[in-house]
Amino acid sequence: MISGRNEPIMLPCSAPIGILLSKLKNFRRHFSTFVLTRGLMTALLGSAFIYLDHWGISFLWLNSILGLGCLYLLLPSDKAVWASAGFFTGIFWFWWIALSFNHYHMPWAVPLVVIVMGLLYAILFWAIAFLSEYLSCRVQCFTPKSSDALYGRCEASPPALFTLSLKALGLWGLSYIHPFGFDWFKPELIFVESCFGIEKWQFAIILAGIVLTLWKKQYAYLLILLFAWQPLSTAKTTLPKDIDIVTTHTTVENKWNKTLQPEQFSMLFAAIDKAIDENKSLVILPESVFPLFLNRSASLMDALRKKAEHISIVTGGLYWDGKTPRNSTYIFTHNTIQIANKVLLVPFGESNPLPDFLSDWVNKVFYDGAVDYKADNHVTDYKIDGNTYRNAICFEATSEKLYKGRPKKMIVLSNNGWFTPSIEPTLQKLLLQYYSRKYGTTIYHAVNMSSSCIIRNGQAQKL
């Protein structure tokens, strides 16, 4: 159509393009180079203790400074920086989860899962900062408009005490949020190998000291942190002479290869015989080193029962009750056999936390129609030579539920083959140190595909 005025011709798609450009500008405004850099630096400081420990570097004073630096950068930042810090933290802490998809022949899913982990914690961090800024804006701003409060546009001065306190409270409570039952993210874990304690009240003191320092801009308030002072013991931990913990190095693919199992089983019995020759009273083997329904294998059960006449044996194996499979610990002591089933299953790895209609679809598409394991209802304690041990299998040993009643001793069996090589074994060990330090539990940890260890009063000694 010809117009008498010299006007530009507007194509139908120009409006959507304009909206898209506007959105991109808005994104760039919220996630500038400064935001991304500050978020990355915060995440690096908050994750450094994991990687330093992984590389065999552990200094109490260094971990203390790194942890305090992370909190000092994070608390006064706005919600965009919190989202950025959460994104990088989620990746730095949990990128290894994606490695398990390689064993299901889905390498294409690895980068997607890594990004999902980052986005998950970006949302959690952003929600804390958003709610803190929104509530602070509503309380402190002079006659704010509701839309101003919603988007954080108010004329309040830089981070006020109320805003900082709300963010600190949100961070303090973040360890109680467990996405899909996965509870490995604990902000106070950054101080597990430091000069400070890891109890919730001690973490609250640390947060309070930093909040007051930021609010008053006076470093003298950091003296408050002395009330949380509780350096990790540096006393060397040793394994009792009568206990042998066996470390195995069997990959996931080899473990489930039935043609290789006879050789693997021979190695396990050789390890038991070696412990007997060394006059040990207890030998501990890793999780599911017998990757079959052990209770249905008469020959293996008889062989282990005979060995138990000379030494107590704790080993991992599968259990079948005729209906559902279980991941279990088998305890052979003299003429008795006890079976302790796993209580907390790995989300998606052993049990699907999604609703049934989604769970069945996910199991069919991603896990070749595999049936979920069944969890037991009660934690199991068992006795060996007069000593009481709390049973724990891999993931559940890093959950609060297993430490109810403050068990003095715990035997943990793990298979880290799904996630190696990565930082997963290191993060697992740090979490076990956290619980050992918190509850005074001595942990005997037998592992496949990474170092076994003993942990006492938060101090770990690799074997």
Q: For residue 352, is pLDDT > 70?
A: no
What's the predicted TM-score (pTM) here? 0.89
Q: Tell me what pLDDT residue 282 has.
A: 98
149 pLDDT band, cuts 50/70/90, is: very low
Identify the DSSP state of 229.
B
Q: Tell me what pLDDT residue 346 has.
A: 85
Residues 207-237 pLDDT 10s: 999 999 999 999 999 999 999 999 998 888 9
Residues 290-336 pLDDT 10s: 999 999 999 999 999 999 999 999 999 999 988 889 999 999 998 89
Residues 75-113 pLDDT 10s: 999 999 999 999 999 999 999 999 998 988 889 999 999
Q: SS3 of 316, please?
A: strand
Pairwise CA distance, residues 168 & 163, whole Å: 9
Contact partners, residue 419, CB within 8 Å, separation at least 6? 96, 97, 99, 100, 425
Q: Tell me what pLDDT residue 1 has.
A: 40
Task: Supply 291's token pair.
Answer: 């990757």
* Mean pLDDT for the chain overall: 89
Report angle CA 269, 428, 57 to the nearest 5 degrees.
105
126 pLDDT band, cuts 50/70/90, is: very high
**From 79, 186, 280, 342, active-site residue:** 342
Q: For residue 191, is pLDDT > 90?
A: yes
**From 394, 429, 438, 453, active-site residue:** 394
| Long-range contacts from 297-301, C-beta under 8 angstroms, 24+ separation | 300/265, 301/337
Q: SS3 of 409, please?
A: strand
* CA dihedral of residues 349, 351, 354, 359 (deg, nearest 10): 90
Pairwise CA distance, residues 125 & 83, whole Å: 5
**From 133, 188, 287, 350, active-site residue:** 287
- Cα dihedral sign, 205-134-186-380: positive
Q: For residue 371, is pLDDT > 80?
A: no
Q: Tell me what pLDDT residue 369 has.
A: 54
Among this protein's residues, is 241 annotated catalytic? Answer: no
155 pLDDT band, cuts 50/70/90, is: very low
Q: SS3 of 57, please?
A: coil
- Cα dihedral sign, 94-106-362-371: negative
Q: Count Cβ neighbours within 10 Å for each residue of 100-112 and write b for 16 or more, e otherwise.
A: bbeeeeeeebbee
Contact partners, residue 113, CB within 8 Å, separation at least 6? 97, 98, 101
Among this protein's residues, is 394 annotated catalytic? Answer: yes
Pairwise CA distance, residues 286 & 98, whole Å: 23
Q: Kindly state the average pLDDT of the residues 40-51.
A: 98
Task: Supply 208's token pair.
Answer: 């309070």
325-333 and 290-293 beta bridge pairing: unpaired
Pairwise CA distance, residues 41 & 81, whole Å: 10
Task: Supply 149's token pair.
Answer: 């409060």
Among this protein's residues, is 342 annotated catalytic? Answer: yes
325-333 and 442-448 beta bridge pairing: unpaired
Contact 353, 375 (CB under 8 A): no
Q: For residue 435, is pLDDT > 50?
A: yes
Q: For residue 140, is pLDDT > 70?
A: no
Backbone angles phi, psi at 160, to 5 degrees: -85, 170
Pairwise CA distance, residues 307 & 269, whole Å: 9
H-state helical runs in 174-281: 200-216, 252-255, 261-277
Please state, in angstroms and as integers, the Cα–Cα distance from residue 371 to each residue in 340, 368, 447, following that order: 20, 9, 25
Q: Tell me what pLDDT residue 29 has.
A: 57
Pairwise CA distance, residues 454 & 463, whole Å: 8
Q: SS3 of 377, please?
A: coil
312-320 and 290-293 beta bridge pairing: parallel
459-462 and 453-456 beta bridge pairing: antiparallel
Report angle CA 374, 375, 377 to the nearest 5 degrees.
135
Pairwise CA distance, residues 228 & 202, whole Å: 5
